[in-house]
Structure 1
Amino acid sequence: MKIALFDGIVETHVASSLERALVAAGHQVLNTGKVGHGYKFATGRSQLHTLSNALDTVVDFQPDVIFVFRPASLPSPLLERAKRTGARMVAWLSDDPVLWDLSYGPVVDSYDIVLHCGTARVLDFYESMFGRPTGINFPFWTDQTAFPYVYGSQPRESDAMFLGNVHDEVRRTRYFDLGSLSSSIRIHGNVGRDYFNIAGGFLDSDAEVVDAGARAGLAVNIPQYFRDHQGLETWFDGLDKLGFFQYPSRVIQYAAMGLPIISVVPDSDDLASFPEIVCVDSIAQLDSAIQSVLASPSLQDLSKATHERFLRNYSAAARVMALESVLSDDSWKTLDSRERSLWFTQFDAVEAGREEAREAAVVESDNRREVIEVSQTVEPRCIGVLGVGFGRVTSTSSVTVRTLQALGHRVNVLDLSQYKSVLVPDPNNEYKFVINAVKFLEAVKERPDLLVVSNLDCGVTQAGREQLLEAGVRLAVIGVESAKGGKKLERLAGRVDYLGVLNPQVADGLKSDHFDSVEHLPHLVDRGFLKAIENVPVRGQQAVVAGKRRLHFSKQAAAFRDLADWPSTELFIEESPEEYKDLDMLAAALKSTVVVAPFDASVPGPLPSEVLPFALAAGSLVVVPRGVGPMNICEPGTASVSVREKGELALKLSRLASSPASTARILAAAEEVVTGPLNAERRLASMMEQIFAEPSGGKAIAGTVVDGQQDAGLVPEWHLGYEQKSLSLAHERIKGKGTDLVVTVDHRVTEDTAGLYQLVVSVEGAPAYVENLRMSPTSRHLRIRIPKTIKHPTVSFGIRTADKSVKPGPGFFPSATVSNVEWVGATEAVHSVSAVSTSPWGA
């Protein structure tokens, strides 16, 4: 079957493990990932737009089944659209029954299959409300990829661990219950005020959970009781009578890791489907139960049995078996609520050969670093980089210059301090300052093929954009610090060839609005720094603090105070240390055991500082603050260590110090990020390709145009020369999506005419692409962006003189061929294409 997984929950391993198990079972799977948030139906324009775009992807996949992880992410219009695909609609109610009033109850009748997550009491409640059995119990799951068996593989840190939050009004009682124990315990979650010193640090990734699980004697579960929701938005009459969450996600994670589990529940019969869980009916009995289990000679057997139960009935593979069954057999409708609450236990993934126990993979560190190969471009360009910060080796401007030079381009540094005249107040009041194209062209000694504006808060008018294009200058703007989108940024995105945005959320929003010139471009690190790191013979053993301002370090995380008693070096950009002026000096400073990298709070977000990629590239263990802004480089807890609360930094680093495999995992992930999304050579080479030779895509048009008609089966090709100086291609705009034109243009010039003529491509008379025709390159693949406001776009191609003093003649004129025409973005057949010739020169 083709199965689409729509949206996700906070525990992203739930959807990803189901995807892996579905693929292993032979299904085709589309996983949108987590796209929504909240437990109420989406109503905001931006949120609906994001969800609609995700649904577009699902519709295009043409699934047989759409499995919805968060019903609130499909409000009625989107749900009806999903149903029109003809796919079976499946809803999983992971927070059953707490969201009954808010987003579950209203949609039960709208789905073909409802998968509940609760005891017989919960199923009885739904049956009483709808007068029929509404679904079966489908508890949480995961797999061994996310949570392998690790019990006892690390020195024990505590008698017990508790995975979950204890800081809010629903959960705060748990903290004091756990704090009353004489057994040692570590709480991993949001703790709030830690009166009993039992916080074990928030675990930011599945891998960190596994690391902590390997150090615990056993695991404790104190479920969330529905009675504690009284007075909250989730409360409804009768909720208190429905008990508690039967198997929260942490229980399944415990079991996957092989931790013996003790659960505090008033009635052990509610957990009869997991008999290996030790149940006590009160906190008063928990202490003695912990010590009894830990002292038992069969402790290791209990661990193995708990893991075996997970594999058989609570693994993603077992859930796939259950899903396949419920999609093909509705006999569950004849069962009573207790039978339906146990229905999932009939599916044994081990017996079916879909699961077997396996040990956790160990990451080996061989101290090798991937070499970033830099191949010089086959089409060197003249590039001007206009910006600030050229005296600082970590700045966007400096990294860009070094990288483009390494790629073989001729780069001119245009420091704003020497080119202030090119920025003028915006006459249209769209921006504070804009680039004055005329002044820019007069100021530069060499007219560039591309102007890169780096880390400047300025824009460009439409007239300025056209003047640059007419001069053969394309425009890229990078290092954009905007915290949100809006019309101002949209106008800029529509007037440049490339827009590199630091904030990933802003970039995603613009791309979802079909601004294809936009990319999330974080701060980067180049090969020059990696070479400098290789030349540093010894890694320093002290901590280094590296960021924009001292104030950011002081205020962003209480955990940073753990550094007070450690030997450390501080490198704050605002204090202009010498290390930021020289790559070799910076490499020697950052090649340390630990680098603490506070975010740049002077940038809205805040966002990681420009130093962070260099810290990661130095092979140091990098520490960043948690929760101060969107992390735009990698998932927290993977390539870096995230901290916030006091004591957390010391705890996490202590664990890593005793686990070479865990340290190696983080350093390997950091290297992957450095050689991937943070790799300046790869990212800027991709930018150049997008600007100058973007690959075609979309629907090809076949046929030769004769009097506006197509002769099917032939490849169209049009010629430009002295006798036909221009060509127009028209296309009827379809469904309001906007349509771009992708085309190949080849030209021929002689040595005598090279540089004297220009290829000009215009949309409705406004220049969209201008290039001086030289001996090389002779071919280019263009994507001409069509503004969405143009209903019936006409794209014109022409050859004109680059200078008014040039006198064209039949033997002194270049030729060009226009071919491989594709209209990109059209959702139906192309309606019209026409070639229009104009009079020759001098007529």
Structure 2
Amino acid sequence: MDRARKAVDLTVAWFSDDPVHYKSVYADSAPAYNIVLHTGGVGTLEVYRESLGLRNGVQFPFWTDNIEHPFNGEATEKCFDILFLGNVHDEVRRDRQEYLSALGERVAHFGKPSREAGSQHRGIIESLQELHAVARRSRFGLNFAQRFYQYRNSPNWSIALERSGHFSFTSRLVQYLAMGLPVMTRDIDALGRSVVPEVLEAQSAARARAIADDMDEADRLNLAQQSHQRQRSAFHAANRARFLQQLVENDRWRRWSLDDRAEAFQNFSQEVSDRQPSRFRRAKYKVKLMARSKPLVVGLTGTGWANPSSLLKWTNDALSATRTDVIQINPFHFPHLIRSDLQGHFRGIIDLSRDRHAKRLDTIISVGGEYLITSTGASLPPVLSLWERSEYSSRRVERLAQHSNALIISSSALAEELANLGYFNTIVASNVYTKYSEPVSVDKPAQRAVVRVIADRFRDIELAAPWILDEMFQDEVVIDLDGNDAEQSAPEGHTVNAVLLVPDMTGPVPRSPLHGLALQSPALQFAPRMSTVRTDTIENGPFITVGGIAELEYKMLLYTRDRRLMLDYLTRLQSHEEAYSVSSVIGAWLQETQTQNTGRMTRRMRNWGRK
């Protein structure tokens, strides 16, 4: 901060966790700034003035806009009377659990649960789209403020916590208001009553139930509209920006009283508009084969010719659908081309110099990594290798990268390891073929749904998700351990509405099931994909994480009944597969092969695949 003050005329800081971190951070750093924006109310401002002698602070509560939290005012079937978004897992929040337990099934809790959590806990919301869908199906939002006296025996306890009481305006309160959810709150002070008179005080669960029972839908919708307007006037991002601009440009605020500093943020209300910001999307690599007198001749080799669900078979089908002549090089039919691998890494080495027809090939695609492609004494066409069954670097995969112009792998971690070893010709892509390219649609959901569980081994289910084996859950589950039952029909009267992938947890990092090609069944192509472990890597796509039966059942209900949420998810899923699928990579390879500029192709695909 000393260096910063020498470089600029003005320094500003927003203390978003004030006064919780007063003792550990803020008390030492506040004097370094010309303006400090606080969230703790009048009590916090008094402490900074009296204990530290500072007059550089104003109240600057949380804010949002209606792009991130749009108004959900349309008539929608309501699933819950009361929605609570927040955590109850630690000591300073444990008092919330008793309140929630008293509400029982009347409340839906999303967030980190306590050990005593009951059926009201529905899981964890992972995206704004899920949040919007849950809000659309709830009548009221429940707000708790942290009661600062509960920090008394913690290292954070300070005079600021003692003097402040609790947050007047929590981030959750602002989100509820923005989405048009009438707010019930357990904790409110005089400032909160003054700024947000629309908030309903419910200091007990009994009072919350009474409010939900007594308010008819017309009054609730009217209160929802008023709450939304309050957010747009007092807690909108544009108005908060005007307030900050005023603080920076004019020093008159330094003469304000503490009460004025605590309330001034609401006086900058103007008509606001929510313009959608520009979105930078990853461009889809669309394959347009160039006009050519003769089609490309592609040599295809690997293992899995007899398996209809193998990656090799899917590659063959994808190539056949393009303007290419596919020459199938089945190692069992061409033993004269194979010599032994003295290092023992591969089943054999295919030496194409032994075949006079190899000169006809424009490119070679090798699938599975069981055979290495070489040519002694003759030029070798560009080689594209697909390696699907390894998460970690080995001498075998290193040799594949060494002898291939490009190597497709399904693990970004492996790509990083190979890059550290000097191999930059890897392309990360999921083992998915975008076979169905028509726009997605959402049909009317079935009354009964079934979950398709995909795992490599029964042991993986026992380790990662034993709750799947619960007897009460068995009628709603189809377990697939080998990937060959992709067309298996659901039980009579049911429809497959979700796919649950159970990863292998025996290694240092979770690994998705190897036979993910089962997802290419038309019956599963556009089903929501769920996982028992959070997986954020690009090769896995947009998975929905679930941690138990209750969360799985509710998220299935949410996605199958909320058409807007389902359509948004399927659109993201389709976009991801178009960008990262093997078929897209192969299509790009074929296009660049036609230009006969393989060196540039390898560099472009390396950079494109690692963005």
TM-score, structure 2 as length reference? 0.74
Q: CA deviation at 1:257?
A: 1.8
The alignment status of 1:173 with 2:95, answered yes or no, reads yes
Q: CA deviation at 1:178?
A: 1.4
Structure 2 residue aligned with 1:549 = 456
Structure 1 residue aligned with 2:343 = 425
The alignment status of 1:621 with 2:539, answered yes or no, reads no
Q: Pick the aligned partner of 2:358 from 446, 456, 465.
A: 446
Q: Which stretch has the larger CA shift, 244-253 or 255-264?
A: 244-253
Conserved? CA contact 1:559–1:649, under 8 Å? no
Please give the alpha-carbon distance, in whole angstroms, between the structure 2 residues aligned to 1:513 and 1:339.
Answer: 62
The alignment status of 1:566 with 2:475, answered yes or no, reads yes
Structure 1 residue aligned with 2:557 = 654
Structure 2 residue aligned with 1:361 = none
Q: Pick the aligned partner of 2:411 from 466, 484, 503.
A: 503
Structure 2 residue aligned with 1:251 = 173
Please give the alpha-carbon distance, in whole angstroms, between the structure 2 residues aligned to 1:482 and 1:327.
Answer: 56
What letter corresponds to residue 425 of structure 1 in structure 2? Q
Conserved? CA contact 2:530–2:545, under 8 Å? yes
The alignment status of 1:408 with 2:316, answered yes or no, reads no
Q: Pick the aligned partner of 1:521 from 415, 429, 438.
A: 429
Structure 2 residue aligned with 1:45 = none
Conserved? CA contact 1:498–1:687, under 8 Å? no
Conserved? CA contact 2:453–2:499, under 8 Å? yes
Q: CA deviation at 1:179?
A: 0.5
Alignment of 1:306-385 (within 5 A): 306-348=227-269, 351-354=270-273, 375-376=288-289, 378=291, 381-385=296-300
Structure 1 residue aligned with 2:536 = 630
Q: How far does the alpha carbon of each residue in 1:381-429 deviate from its partner, in whole angstroms, 9 at most, with x for none?
A: 5545554444444444333333344343444555678788565538xxx
The alignment status of 1:139 with 2:61, answered yes or no, reads yes
Please give the alpha-carbon distance, in whole angstroms, between the structure 2 residues aligned to 1:656 and 1:449.
Answer: 46
Q: CA deviation at 1:321?
A: 3.0
Greater RCO, 1 or 2 (C-alpha within 8 Å, sep 6+)? 2
The alignment status of 1:782 with 2:600, answered yes or no, reads yes
Instruction: Find the residue that maps to 1:611 and give its secondary structure.
Output: helix
Conserved? CA contact 2:529–2:544, under 8 Å? yes
Alignment of 1:803-822 (within 5 A): none
Q: CA deviation at 1:93?
A: 3.9
What letter corresponds to residue 547 of structure 2 in structure 1? R
Q: CA deviation at 1:288?
A: 1.7
Q: CA deviation at 1:160?
A: 1.4
Structure 1 residue aligned with 2:195 = 273
Q: CA deviation at 1:275?
A: 2.8
Q: CA deviation at 1:781?
A: 7.6
Conserved? CA contact 1:522–1:633, under 8 Å? yes
Q: CA deviation at 1:325?
A: 3.8
Instruction: Find the residue that maps to 1:597 and give its secondary structure.
Output: strand
CA distance 1:337–1:540, shift in 2 (3 Å): closer
The Cα RMSD (Å) is 5.1
The alignment status of 1:597 with 2:518, answered yes or no, reads no
Conserved? CA contact 2:351–2:376, under 8 Å? no
Between structures 1 and 2, the one with greater helix share: 2
Q: Which stretch has the larger CA shift, 447-456 or 180-189?
A: 447-456
Structure 1 residue aligned with 2:609 = none
Please give the alpha-carbon distance, in whole angstroms, between the structure 2 residues aligned to 1:237 and 1:444.
Answer: 83
What letter corresponds to residue 398 of structure 1 in structure 2? K
Conserved? CA contact 1:619–1:667, under 8 Å? no
Q: Pick the aligned partner of 1:611 from 513, 517, 520.
A: 517
CA distance 1:336–1:485, shift in 2 (3 Å): farther
Structure 2 residue aligned with 1:185 = 107
CA distance 1:122–1:684, shift in 2 (3 Å): farther
How many pairs does the alignment contain? 576
Q: CA deviation at 1:307?
A: 0.9
Unaligned runs of 5+ in 2: 277-284, 604-611
CA distance 1:260–1:500, shift in 2 (3 Å): same
What letter corresponds to residue 217 of structure 1 in structure 2? R
What letter corresponds to residue 650 of structure 1 in structure 2? E
What letter corresponds to residue 287 of structure 1 in structure 2? A
Q: CA deviation at 1:633?
A: 6.0
Structure 2 residue aligned with 1:198 = 120
Q: Work out the percentage of aligned pairs sharing the same amino acid.
A: 19
Q: How far does the alpha carbon of each residue in 1:263-286 deviate from its partner, in whole angstroms, 9 at most, with x for none?
A: 222634356433322335x4xx34
Please give the alpha-carbon distance, in whole angstroms, between the structure 1 residues aligned to 2:364 and 2:457.
Answer: 34
Structure 1 residue aligned with 2:608 = none
Q: How far does the alpha carbon of each residue in 1:281-323 deviate from its partner, in whole angstroms, 9 at most, with x for none?
A: x4xx342244136514643332221111111222233333334
Conserved? CA contact 1:377–1:409, under 8 Å? no
Please give the alpha-carbon distance, in whole angstroms, between the structure 2 residues aligned to 1:549 and 1:422.
Answer: 31
Q: CA deviation at 1:547?
A: 2.1
CA distance 1:561–1:150, shift in 2 (3 Å): farther
Please give the alpha-carbon distance, in whole angstroms, between the structure 1 residues aligned to 2:481 and 2:452.
Answer: 8
Please give the alpha-carbon distance, in whole angstroms, between the structure 2 residues aligned to 1:436 and 1:411.
Answer: 22
Unaligned runs of 5+ in 1: 1-75, 359-371, 427-432, 694-775, 786-843
Conserved? CA contact 2:501–2:513, under 8 Å? yes
CA distance 1:85–1:434, shift in 2 (3 Å): farther
Q: Pick the aligned partner of 2:226 from 305, 318, 324.
A: 305
